[in-house]
Structure 1
Amino acid sequence: MSGGASQTLAEALGILPEWHDIAGRHHITAPETQRALLKAMGVAAAGEPGPAESLAELEARRAARRLPEEVVTTPGAELRLPLVAPTEWRLDLEDGGSESGRAEETIQITPPAGLHRLTAGEESCLIIAAPETAPGVAEVLGRTSGRRPHSGGAHGWGVTAALYGLRSPRNLGVGDYADLAVAAEQLAGLGAAFLGINPLHARGAACDGISPYTPSCRTALEPRHIAVDAVLGSRQSETAQALLRDNAARLAAAREGELVDYATCDGLGNDVLRALFADFERSAGPAVDAFAAWRRGPGQALEWFALFEAISLRHGADWRGWPEQLQRFGSPAALSFATANAREVRYHAWLQWLAQRQLSAAQGNAKNAGMGLGLYLDIAVGVRPGGADTWSAPSCFAEGVSLGAPPDAFNPAGQDWALAPFNPLGLHSAAYRPFIEMLRAAMAYAGIIRIDHILGLRRSFWVPEDGAPGGYVAYPLEPLLALIRLEARRAGCVVVGEDLGSVPPGLRDRLAEAGLLGCAVVQFEKQDQRFHPPEGYRAATLASFGTHDTPTLRGWWCGWDIDQRHAINGGDEAGHEAERQQRAAERAALARLLCDENLAPTGLDPDAPPPQADDALAEALHRLLARAGSALVAVQLDDALGSVAQQNLPGTVDEHPNWRRRYPLSVEELGSDPRLRALAALFAPRAATEPQEDQSQEMKSCP
């Protein structure tokens, strides 16, 4: 009986009873998985009478409701909610205003855009009034939506890069916000409409991790990217300048290395910033007044994060290991700590103030230089279980599980990303505030945002820590999608959803209807060993050859990723050879598409293409990408500069230099680099429509 109650309860709370993997295989969610996922939601699910009581309470609560728990509507549309008895009602608007009245049979309201709360008697209902679509690319750029022959409907192209890998003669060995501003200006001069970078979420002062996709907090910015020489007073600070002089040799080595030297940046950067903060504390003037005003105003939303940082440096990066009295956000002990360590808390607030100002300046520089969209910022799919976000709102995150992915051909054991997922029950109870704040934190500084693994708007795969098999949990797609549209409209921001992997039926169409772009990645745009011509890509996509998690153009062509995985993980030679043969077949298929599109370089034999991609072949593949029918096209800086190795090799941590590869030229050289200038010409509005003079002659060599 307990098993039946658990199953019914699980399904009622959105735990899917069955699912299909990317290969189409059918799976049944195991009872132990249902119990583990219910427990992660904070729902009693073990033993008698836990699940039965929880189920009965849930059913009784739902049956007794007169109002729905939440309603999604459009601004200005009349909303009619039937009642079972006359009642007084009140609509509390997001802007602080309110409306009220008495209804006999039906509550009739016309809510403006925003997130509101309707109360009738003892019940309340969340009202989300959102525009039907997020802003489109043409709308944000102020361009018409006419399509160009051969180059599809693309309204702009841009570059994606790793901020940490940007090189300059003035940073601390890690790319910073000042480098970002220069890079954006340089690329804007080449005609790029955007510059995309990795997530800028705060990783945590006490955390020694380096992945930008395992953050502590998605509403705070990463302080390690603060340009210390751009901080007011840095040149006049004797202590800061002495630190830089005394570490000149170490800094020079860090700036010249092929891999990012995080130790130098973090250690020296922290020392310099603390010295500058000490000077700032002793000073007076407009900057000091501005910081104080910021803390009283918008900075109040980050005071809790500053407190978390201060506690973490005393007790460790994972709050679950702190003294028990400090584990509760807002507890008397936490407030007492804040009072006793006010200067340390103020320091971490100051870092956030600096980061916001410098990132805002980078976006301003990008737009002023003519970059139509400016920065393209990424939102990670989850946060560390012991980080700041879960400490501040524990009920909004599931406990004892991790986000992940089910088994597939590349990961037979499935994937565990060690990230805490949103708890849909707690998220609704909190009126989606953590989700909204996450969106606003990125949209404030960007013309485009990318939501990692946007499939999670409908369902996410949770992996229990107790060893039970993973399972899917449903999410409230329409409310979450409405909030994205609402915030995107407010910010004037284009939204891209990373929709790769096992996509639920109909989701891509629904996202497109809402004005969101999906992803069209050349490496994956194939069926039955044939690649789709990019001209046929869906208009509601951002097209690229790859992503930060996939091989580079040249790496894919030569099978670098296959060789690396087998070198690290071992495995039988037969399996290795089978993967290489598969890639050879894909290489031939892509070469055939180049021939079909009259883009193949001289001498290319699609039945026996070369094992390495030279410059001519890379140019042909970029010409192919330029024909995408997508709204936007992105070129990876790694591909533009001829890199073979990729930024991240999924499934590895220390076995491969993930998140540490630096670019071979400085940000000041981007605009004059001949490789980038040549690519800019390819992606210029008319480039894809004008064949090269000798193009027809070249095509004669294709069988």
Structure 2
Amino acid sequence: MGLARLAELHGVATTFSPAKGVTVAVPDATVVAVLAALDIDASTPEAVRTALDRAERAAAGRLLPRTVVVWQGSGPEGAGVPPALTALPAGTTVRVTTEEGRELSWTTPGKAAAQPVGGAPHDAGPAPAPADGAGGPDGAQVWRQLPLGVHRLSAVTPDGRSTDAGLVVAPAQVPGPEGRSHGFLVQLYSLLSARSWGMGDLGDLAELATWSGRSLGASFVQVNPLHAAVPGAPTDPSPYRPSSRRFPDPVHLRIEDVPEYAYADPADRQRLEDLRDRAAELRESVLDKGALIDRDAVWELKREALEIIHRIPLGPGRRAAYRDFTEEQGQALEDHATWCALAEVYGSEWHDWPAALRDPRSPQTAEARAGLAERVDFHRRLVWLTDEQLAAAGRAAREAGMAVGIVHDLAVGVHPGGADAWAQQDSFAAGMSVGAPPDAFNAHGQDWGLPPWRPDALAASGYAPYRGLLRGILRNAGALRIDHVMGLFRLWWVPIGSPPTEGAYVRYDAEAMLAVLVLEAHRAGAVVIGEDLGTVEPGVREALSRRGVLGTSVLWFERDWTGDGRPLPPAKWREGCVATATTHDLPSTAARLTGGHVELRHRLGLLARPLEEEQTEETADVAEWLGLLLDLGLLPEGAGDEEGAIRAVYRYLLRTPARMVGIWLPDAVGDRRPQNLPGTWDQYPNWRLPVSDAEGRPMSLEELAASPRLHRLLEVFASRTAPPDARPS
């Protein structure tokens, strides 16, 4: 009982439910290991008693929770002082220090009330009338003067007890999309144009946004995470295991669009032209010869070109813009660039570096940074250049009339050896990896190899790493998709060396995590989309919806799971979602309709049952959906017409009330191959496939734009702004 109570006080669950009505106990050894990652010693019964006594005394002595959240707006949430403060003893002095450094203070009413510290709130004009006869300002009136932001809060009782806490003041909801809209979903690397250097880049993104916005009426383009990757030989191609989520990867740069490119001297110009020729060969090997996208080869050419460009002096205006960017990004950018420079010398796994360099704040690291000043500046400038091109893509989308614009993707975590994990060691739980528990679909659970954030460290820092991450990615985003959005509430922690079945859920302060997200999205004017597929605990979707966060609904999963299990009629879909036919981890619609994905998984030995059983079940599932599409009059071409069936799927999505409908770009040309096949590593070319047609022939952006098949699909969206109509035809 003592270990369970200790775990509860620190947000560590001692049971989990892999299926409805089933409860499984977490091994004690796992609980002890997770608590150790939170600096809680529970290794012996005596240690448990000591830690429990300390934790309970600390909990009983706290006047306030670690973080207080205030939701602004109408209704009960925005009516006044939050309950955590109204419960303070009479005469308690409460002080708020805002983000800008202003101080606001008052005393709680009652007989023991004392005079306010510092008098009236700063910048608040004359002191408001006392409340309930108490001396000093009315807390409710002061509260209404609080600006949006992440502030510090302190409380001191008349008997001298005190507590500090974080204070997040956020709008009630994130911005929502205007009306109903549609747009493309695409893995950017897979979209090569005639100007790409072997993989899709930010110039291609701007081109796609401009074309689809102006010619097709698209309101958004959603891309994969563009986070900085961990360099290696070979580099992990997955965009969901980056070195840094805070900063983008310069491999996405369009080299010719860097302004300094035009000012190379003749010798450097010739070298740049030679690199362009080699890049053209890479591009042609993918588009014309069917080769895989080779990210490492692309980066080798781009890095050499960028090193040449880096030697070209910045003009006065450009130099000033670069200086402002580095000052704005501050220590986080300095750390990132330092890690990149050190990784060139010592390798990309910082745990293997000389001991002193594993600490980003050590004197030896400062000395190494100074010695590598030129390389640090090189990597710092690459971030700036990439940020500029991200901003240019966002402007192109807005100028094309896109109501939402570029939808960026936030991965659930970072590589344990990468830049973020090095620079923010105090914020990550050592010895732990994020994953998923066993469930009906995966009896072995999952281990994603990503270190989790410590909830206690986040709260103690005022959520600084999380806020910086959100600000960095939202600065150039019209919307943000959050992968595994359930991680704002809890994450499955797996002790390194243990199987993922022996993990435990660790809970985060979801109210605070959501408040910071809503605050930063409000400041950026960005829509937020949560990837809420898979196992979702009760109440999560409702909490996200209350804050205006859209969910993700994939057609094949939308069934009446509480009833007869049949496909969910379009009118019963939720409005607050992005409705899609597939995702990057799922089969394309053509593969789903033809059963090709079952055959692929069979060839790779991934099926848990005999091929015939899997095919029978899949055929029945598809037939049921096709039958519904026919009944609704959405499939005039007939069930045997593959291209017509794909159009019918998207007609169906438009019948739902979903605020946004996402078109998987490969669907538009009949691509059959998934971009990622979970459960594989070198058995399948994950994250390395270009968009291709139904015969597997790679297609350039120019060919896509001219594709009759694509335009026939997009005709379905010509009346996209009409209200949804779920009545059978």
TM-score, shorter chain, exceeding 0.5:
yes
Question: What does residue range 279-298 of structure 1 map to in structure 2 within 5 Å?
Answer: 279-280=312-313, 283-298=314-329
Q: Is the 8 A contact 1:217 1:383 kept in 2?
A: yes
Match of 2:42 in 1: 45
Cα distance, 1:239–1:380 mapped onto 2, change above 3 Å = farther
Match of 1:126 in 2: 166
Distance 1:411 1:255 in 2: 38
Question: What does residue range 313-352 of structure 1 map to in structure 2 within 5 Å?
Answer: 313-352=344-383
SS at match of 1:343: helix
Q: What does the per-residue CA deviation read over 1:276-312, in whole Å, with 9 as the maximum and x for residues that have no partner? A: 10123xx543222321232233455411111111111
- C-alpha displacement of 1:210: 1.3
Question: What does residue range 558-597 of structure 1 map to in structure 2 within 5 Å?
Answer: 558-569=594-605, 575-597=610-632
Q: Is the 8 A contact 2:550 2:576 kept in 1?
A: yes
SS at match of 2:312: helix
Please, which moves more after superposition, 191-200 or 99-108?
99-108
Q: Is the 8 A contact 1:682 1:688 kept in 2?
A: no
Question: What does residue range 221-236 of structure 1 map to in structure 2 within 5 Å?
Answer: 221-236=248-263
Matched, 1:60 2:53: no
Cα distance, 1:430–1:295 mapped onto 2, change above 3 Å = same
Cα distance, 1:22–1:244 mapped onto 2, change above 3 Å = farther
Distance 1:386 1:48 in 2: 34
Match of 2:548 in 1: 515
Cα distance, 1:632–1:340 mapped onto 2, change above 3 Å = same
Distance 1:494 1:687 in 2: 19
Match of 1:599 in 2: 634
- C-alpha displacement of 1:508: 1.0
Distance 1:293 1:686 in 2: 42
Cα distance, 1:688–1:522 mapped onto 2, change above 3 Å = farther
Match of 2:658 in 1: 630
Cα distance, 1:11–1:68 mapped onto 2, change above 3 Å = closer
Cα distance, 1:568–1:24 mapped onto 2, change above 3 Å = farther
Question: What does residue range 191-590 of structure 1 map to in structure 2 within 5 Å?
Answer: 191-206=217-232, 208-237=235-264, 238=266, 240-247=268-275, 250-256=278-284, 257=286, 258=290, 259-280=292-313, 283-298=314-329, 300-467=331-498, 469-526=502-559, 527=561, 528-569=564-605, 575-590=610-625
Q: Is the 8 A contact 1:112 1:129 kept in 2?
A: yes
Match of 1:149 in 2: none
Q: Is the 8 A contact 1:299 1:349 kept in 2?
A: no
Q: Is the 8 A contact 2:11 2:506 kept in 1?
A: yes
Structure 1 runs not aligned, ≥5 long: 144-154, 605-609
SS at match of 1:137: coil
SS at match of 2:341: helix
Matched, 1:170 2:195: yes
Cα distance, 1:682–1:492 mapped onto 2, change above 3 Å = same
SS at match of 1:629: coil
- C-alpha displacement of 1:686: 5.3
Matched, 1:98 2:99: no
Greater relative contact order (CA < 8 Å, ≥ 6 in sequence): 1
The alignment-based identity, stated in percent, is 36
Distance 1:423 1:206 in 2: 28
Q: What does the per-residue CA deviation read over 1:125-174, in whole Å, with 9 as the maximum and x for residues that have no partner? A: 21111111111112xxxx5xxxxxxxxxxx10010001111111222101
Match of 2:116 in 1: none
- C-alpha displacement of 1:77: 4.5
Q: Is the 8 A contact 1:240 1:272 kept in 2?
A: no
Match of 2:28 in 1: 31
Cα distance, 1:240–1:499 mapped onto 2, change above 3 Å = farther
Which residue identity does 1:514 align to in structure 2? R
- C-alpha displacement of 1:410: 3.8
Q: Is the 8 A contact 2:203 2:393 kept in 1?
A: yes
Cα distance, 1:222–1:641 mapped onto 2, change above 3 Å = same
Choose which of 645, 669, 674 in structure 1 pairs with 2:708: 674
Q: Is the 8 A contact 2:219 2:404 kept in 1?
A: yes
Distance 2:221 2:276 in 1: 31
Cα distance, 1:395–1:300 mapped onto 2, change above 3 Å = closer
- C-alpha displacement of 1:329: 2.0
SS at match of 2:311: helix
Distance 1:274 1:239 in 2: 14
Q: What does the per-residue CA deviation read over 1:302-334, in whole Å, with 9 as the maximum and x for residues that have no partner? A: 111111111111111121111111111211111
Cα distance, 1:210–1:304 mapped onto 2, change above 3 Å = same
Which residue identity does 1:656 align to in structure 2? Y
- C-alpha displacement of 1:541: 0.8
- C-alpha displacement of 1:671: 4.1
Please, which moves more after superposition, 90-99 or 475-484?
90-99
Cα distance, 1:53–1:477 mapped onto 2, change above 3 Å = same
SS at match of 1:99: strand
Matched, 1:660 2:688: yes
Matched, 1:619 2:647: yes
Count of residues in Structure 1 that have an aligned counterpart in Structure 2: 666
Distance 2:724 2:100 in 1: 52
Q: Is the 8 A contact 2:657 2:724 kept in 1?
A: no
- C-alpha displacement of 1:31: 0.8
Cα distance, 1:615–1:92 mapped onto 2, change above 3 Å = same
Please, which moves more after superposition, 283-292 or 456-465?
283-292
Cα distance, 1:224–1:81 mapped onto 2, change above 3 Å = same
Distance 1:542 1:520 in 2: 6
Match of 2:10 in 1: 13
- C-alpha displacement of 1:124: 0.7
Please, which moves more after superposition, 633-642 or 678-687?
678-687
Distance 2:79 2:268 in 1: 58
Q: Is the 8 A contact 2:41 2:47 kept in 1?
A: yes
Distance 1:300 1:86 in 2: 41
Cα distance, 1:22–1:666 mapped onto 2, change above 3 Å = farther
Q: What does the per-residue CA deviation read over 1:61-88, in whole Å, with 9 as the maximum and x for residues that have no partner? A: 1111223322111236532444447454
Distance 1:570 1:88 in 2: 63
- C-alpha displacement of 1:243: 3.3
Which residue identity does 1:194 align to in structure 2? F
Which residue identity does 2:431 align to in structure 1? G
Distance 2:442 2:594 in 1: 21
Q: What does the per-residue CA deviation read over 1:540-572, in whole Å, with 9 as the maximum and x for residues that have no partner? A: 111000111111101112233322223223667
Choose which of 57, 78, 81 in structure 1 pairs with 2:80: 78
- C-alpha displacement of 1:490: 1.2
Q: Is the 8 A contact 1:115 1:126 kept in 2?
A: yes
